[in-house]
Amino acid sequence: MTRICRFMRLDYLSIKPYLTIAFFAAYAFAMTAMSFSDISGAVGMSVIFSAFFVSYPFAVADKANFNALYCQLAISRKEVVRGRYTFLLATSAVITIASCVTSLVSSFFRQTADATIPNILPELLPAAAIAILFSGIIQAFQLPIYFRLGYEKARMAAIIPLLAIVGFSSFFMISGPNLNTDQILSNITHWVWNNTFMSIAVALFIWLAIMFASYALSLKFYTQRDF
């Protein structure tokens, strides 16, 4: 665990010069939060940012030939994969928390009648949890591509999972009336509310299964690469 934490620190130090983008992200979060009447919309922006943020550690590592350096530092490839997954998931959580704080503050600036913490938290906390889980799922599809191809070859292909999800969501929303979307969502919401603990358990099981499968693929692909 200590070695993984050290690798996470290496990842952080490698992209630290590029973290000015975080200030622009914070600004985007603030502007988005101000424009959404639904507070969860601003939180959803963290998912998009997390999906694009995945490429940064790979871009820096490929440019500076850090993969060869990891070998010289006796960092095993398993530790590299585990550290990269942990670092990016932790970063997604931090981004989501930042967007939550921004959303919370902006809701008070809007000065709506229901802009109180007891009224906002029931909406904000589930949205934050879903954003973190959803970010992890998108990254689970992206990371094996980066570990297999490297940044230069994978930077376009890795965006496909995000575009596919956005495209499917847009199609689902546009075709909603024909697909009885409202009724489907109502039935799902009703079942979730009546089976809260089971819903959480099922969601976590699916998320963990996806993440473990993604990790196994990434480790296999990264082990096969020559540096």
DSSP characters for the chain? Answer: -HHHHHHHHHHHHHHGGGTTHHHHHHHHHHHHHHH-SSHHHHHHHHHHHHHHHTHHHHHHHHHTTHHHHHHHTT--HHHHHHHHHHHHHHHHHHHHHHHHHHHHHHHHHHT-TT-SHHHHHHHHHHHHHHHHHHHHHHHHHHHHHHHHH-HHHHTTGGGHHHHHHHHHHHHHHHTHHHHTHHHHHHHHHHHHHHTHHHHHHHHHHHHHHHHHHHHHHHHHHHHH---
Question: What is the structure's pLDDT at 143?
Answer: 93
pLDDT band at 225 (very low <50, low <70, confident <90, very high): confident
Stronger pLDDT, 205 or 51, i.e. the higher one: 205
Stronger pLDDT, 121 or 226, i.e. the higher one: 226
Identify the CA nearest to 140 among candidates 88, 71, 63, 197.
Answer: 88
- Rounded to an integer, the average pLDDT of 132-144 is 87
Question: What is the structure's pLDDT at 111?
Answer: 55
pLDDT band at 216 (very low <50, low <70, confident <90, very high): very high
- Rounded to an integer, the average pLDDT of 38-59 is 73
Question: What is the structure's pLDDT at 135?
Answer: 82
Query: Helix 160-174 to helix 117-149 angle, to the nearest 10 degrees?
Result: 130
Task: Give CA–CA dist 42/51, Å, rounded.
Answer: 15
Q: Is the pLDDT of residue 219 over 90?
A: yes
Question: What is the structure's pLDDT at 92?
Answer: 82
pLDDT digits (tens, 9 = 90+) for 151-199: 888 888 887 777 777 676 666 656 555 555 556 656 666 666 677 778 7
Question: What is the structure's pLDDT at 144?
Answer: 93
Q: Is the pLDDT of residue 208 over 60?
A: yes
Task: Give CA–CA dist 132/69, Å, rounded.
Answer: 31
- Between the CA of residue 15 and those of 18, 21, 58, 84, 135, what are the distances in Å? 5, 11, 10, 12, 20
Task: Give CA–CA dist 112/165, Å, rounded.
Answer: 33
Sketch the domain layout of the chain as residue ranges.
2-224
Identify the CA nearest to 214 among candidates 226, 225, 222.
Answer: 222
pLDDT digits (tens, 9 = 90+) for 59-108: 888 888 888 888 888 888 999 999 999 988 888 888 777 777 776 676 66
Question: What is the structure's pLDDT at 116?
Answer: 60
pLDDT digits (tens, 9 = 90+) for 19-46: 666 556 555 555 555 554 455 555 666 7
